[in-house]
């Protein structure tokens, strides 16, 4: 009997030892190297630095309706670049922005008003990397850029009139900081600090837009005087920054954002549109909903004037 009890005790100890070893192995495998039992995700990370450039950079870009005018004011702006889970110069509500002076611009013919300056940019390659935990997000563009401090004293306001004042459908989209905008218009600009760089931006009328980009029709045929449209929130314009690299060109996509904080007085943009016409209005860049002319604009706007 004693011998049987001793055998049972020995077997129990053996089972306990084996169980303890199995638990220890499971813990080491799951929380220590190689950790393959924990959830993993692919995230986007900064890769090698590819170069530093001084680039003409817009800080505001607004369309002006024909026969009307636009006044803009802002004191915070940001250029955010995103590739998957990686973001450079992330927009913060009330801090860490690249500050800009408050500016006002009023014109009475269709065109684009731009505030700009030369800024230092650093371009990086992006790489996908496996990460333990987290939500991940593979890279969505092969390069990303980070804006830094101003690169020179050049900057200010410029106005570019459109050849066809009745429509914002085809405004200029590319500026390299020289005295030519799309190679045709001439006015004072910034000399290119880094040759071969340029910025593409989308401030055009989306004639075939759908959903939140669908144009709104504003019938002012039997009206006289001017009618206001107010942008009281955030204005956004998609941009692409292009630089020379390794005998070719590389680009990084981002969004230019500017706004006045709720604690400040004023609005981001105030448009005056003349009556006696039909106006087609479209948002530029991200918008939460389609434009209703009776409400504040959800984003920056572009205009097309149509005869009654």
Look at residue 136 and tell me whether its pLDDT is greater than 90: no
List of E strands, 212-266: 216-219, 226-231, 235-245, 248-259
Give the SS3 label for residue 113: strand
Please answer whether residues 286 and 93 qualify as being in contact, where contact means their C-beta atoms are separated by less than 8 angstroms: no
User: What's the pLDDT band for 246 if we cut at 50, 70, 90?
Assistant: very high
User: What's the pLDDT band for 262 if we cut at 50, 70, 90?
Assistant: low
Lowest mean pLDDT among 34-38, 47-51, 110-114, 169-173: 34-38
Look at residue 65 and tell me whether its pLDDT is greater than 60: yes
Helical ranges in the chain per DSSP H = 2-31
User: What's the pLDDT band for 99 if we cut at 50, 70, 90?
Assistant: very low
Look at residue 15 and tell me whether its pLDDT is greater than 50: no
pLDDT at 108: 66
Plot region of 212 (φ>0 → left; ψ -120 to 50 → alpha; else → beta)? alpha
Average pLDDT over residues 195-221: 84
| Alpha carbon distance 62, 126 (integer Å) | 31
Lowest mean pLDDT among 113-117, 180-184, 196-200, 240-244: 180-184
What percent of the chain is predicted at pLDDT more than 90? 24
pLDDT at 128: 94
Q: What is the pTM of this model?
A: 0.78
Q: Greater confidence, 45 or 104?
A: 45
| Alpha carbon distance 274, 101 (integer Å) | 29
Average pLDDT over residues 167-191: 60
Q: Greater confidence, 63 or 261?
A: 63
Q: What value, to the nearest 5°, has the Cα angle with vertex 51 and ends 49 and 53?
A: 135
| Alpha carbon distance 157, 59 (integer Å) | 10
Q: Greater confidence, 24 or 163?
A: 163
């Amino acid at each position: 009997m004693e011998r049987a009890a001793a055998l049972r005790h020995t077997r129990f100890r053996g089972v306990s030892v084996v169980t303890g070893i199995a638990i220890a192995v499971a813990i080491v495998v799951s929380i220590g190297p190689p950790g393959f039992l924990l959830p993993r995700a692919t995230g986007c990370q900064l890769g090698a630095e590819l170069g530093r450039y001084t680039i003409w950079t817009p800080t505001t870009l607004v369309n002006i309706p024909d026969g009307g005018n636009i006044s803009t004011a802002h004191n915070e702006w940001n250029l955010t670049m995103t590739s998957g889970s990686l973001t450079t110069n992330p927009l913060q509500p009330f801090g860490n922005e690249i500050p800009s002076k408050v500016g006002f611009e009023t014109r009475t013919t269709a065109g684009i008003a731009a505030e700009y300056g030369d800024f230092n940019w650093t371009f990086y390659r992006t790489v996908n990397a496996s990460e333990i935990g987290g939500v991940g997000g593979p890279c969505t563009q092969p390069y990303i850029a980070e804006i830094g401090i101003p690169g020179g004293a050049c900057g200010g306001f410029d106005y570019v009139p459109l050849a066809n004042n009745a429509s914002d459908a085809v405004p200029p989209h590319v500026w390299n900081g020289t005295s030519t905008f799309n190679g045709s218009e001439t006015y004072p600009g910034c000399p290119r600090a880094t040759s071969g760089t340029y910025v593409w931006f989308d401030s055009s009328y989306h004639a075939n837009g759908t959903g939140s980009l669908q144009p709104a029709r504003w019938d002012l045929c039997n009206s006289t005087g001017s009618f206001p449209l107010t942008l009281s929130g955030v204005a956004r314009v998609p941009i692409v920054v292009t630089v020379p690299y390794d005998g070719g060109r590389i680009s990084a996509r981002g969004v230019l954002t500017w706004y006045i904080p709720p604690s400040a007085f004023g609005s981001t943009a105030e448009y005056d549109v003349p009556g006696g016409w039909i106006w087609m209005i479209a948002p530029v860049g991200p918008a939460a909903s389609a434009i209703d002319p009776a409400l504040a604009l959800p984003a920056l706007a572009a205009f097309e004037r149509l005869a009654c």
